[in-house]
Amino acid sequence: MTPLRQKMINEMKVRVYSPRTQQAYVDAVAGLAKFYNQSPDTLKKEDVQAYLLHLQEHKRLSWSSCNVAVSAFRFLYGKTLCMDSMRLAIPPRKKQSKLPEILSTEEVERLFEVTSNPKHRMILMTTYAGGLRVSEVVKLKATDIDKHRMTIRIDQGKGDKDRYTILSELLLKELRLYWKMFRPRVWLFPSPNNPNKHINPSTAQRIYYQAKENAGITKGKGIHTLRHCFATHMLEAGYDVRTIQMLMGHSSILTTMVYLQVTRKKLASTKSPLDLLEIPNGNKHK
């Protein structure tokens, strides 16, 4: 590891950046160094901006990926190297507004049905049943499942916050069978290579993609889709937004209210103006 990379990591640790953010920033800076084949502290501001243009126009990175790179470079030159001359004159890009793609309850059922591996099935079911992020489900411990209070404890979720979500009765039954088969010691879903470590989030993602392919489902992206489904299906079942906000650990209720735009119940009760017209049957014109 180069001294510059170590210094940058130390600066991020002091500011209590999450391991995920640290890795994303390090990867972005490493990409910059590889592109020019020289240390980032020897580059000019024009070089960095030219690289960002390369990411947008040639590599066609998404809005979020480009913003991560900009944030990483600003941190490197502004916080780590304290180089005021390297301030990037890049205005913040407007965040794209995209609604999540939601699976129907029938599609979620099919996703579980085609997953024959018991451990894989439990990972998917737990993610959906509790509305968990992938980073949260992989870090669950056996002691986080409270059968008496029917809750799942999320230890240090996003934003380093603890919270509780609901424990489904059906999930509890499935977890009891899972426990008898695998007897997990610490982590509910231990790594197959090292039982003292939890399963990797990327492994959980691959499990979801494989199940989705087996189920013949094309919509939705990664395993986070199951969290979107949890919120949407809860709204469709009549639960209020505030309750769902607490279960999901959203800081702002505005984040939760996005799901109001994709609930089937709301959309189904809304009539198109075309349905208000009296148009003769098309067959009469033949």
Catalytic residues: 133, 158, 224, 227, 250, 259
Residues 211 and 114 sit within 8 Å (Cβ to Cβ): yes
Q: What angle do CA 176, 178, 183 make, to 5 degrees?
A: 95
Q: What angle do CA 6, 7, 10 make, to 5 degrees?
A: 85
Residues 104 and 111 sit within 8 Å (Cβ to Cβ): no
